[in-house]
Amino acid sequence: MPGEGNPSTVRERARNHLRGLLATSAVTGAAAQLASCIPVVCDPMPPPLVCDANQTTDYYLYQFVGVQAHWVIGAGNVYSVAVVISSYATAADKKIVFTANPVLVGATLGSVDRTETQVSFSFTPTASVSEVRFDVAINCNAVADTLRLRVDVSGPRSNNANIPVQSGEIEG
């Protein structure tokens, strides 16, 4: 906006743009007066990743980590689960680095392919378990943490069917 200088970040430019729209909108002002509320601008950008703030797993999952899991049918019609965990954090966000292979409870680990920004692995659930938990060691801004996740394997199985991944907590 004119008179506000040159904002240095995308976040500042977006905020200034939204403030300008809000300030120039007579309809918004009138509606706010009628409703007796004060118009505010919500921050449209996710906050930068703060690695040492003991965040919950949900924070990591929704902002900086993507997780997918699905059933895979193998030899002898044995079902296993394929999981891919990817980091979306950027270098400016002090990216999340996967530092070790996953540790599972309630399943046998199969193949593992791990880079700093992605872990792909498969596992076969132990007979009669309804839930498989897995811990993945991460390093975020020189802070070691454990990303704790779980999947419910008690439901019906079909090849390539997605399995929702539930979160636990980050331990550090």
Summarised one tens digit per residue, pLDDT across range 48-80 is 555 555 555 556 556 777 889 999 998 888 999
Looking at this protein, which amino acid is placed at residue 90?
T
For 57-171, give the CATH class.
mainly beta
Residue range(s) occupied by CATH 2.60.40 in the chain: 57-171
Average pLDDT, the chain: 75
What local confidence, expressed as pLDDT, does residue 97 receive? 84
Looking at this protein, which amino acid is placed at residue 65?
V
Task: Say whether pLDDT at 32 is over 90.
Answer: no
Summarised one tens digit per residue, pLDDT across range 136-151 is 888 876 778 788 889 9
For residues 45 and 93, give the distance between their C-alpha atoms in angstroms, rounded to a whole number: 13
Q: Provide DSSP, 77-120.
A: G-EEEEEEEEE---GGGT-EEE-S--EEESEEEEEEEE-SSEEE
What local confidence, expressed as pLDDT, does residue 79 receive? 93
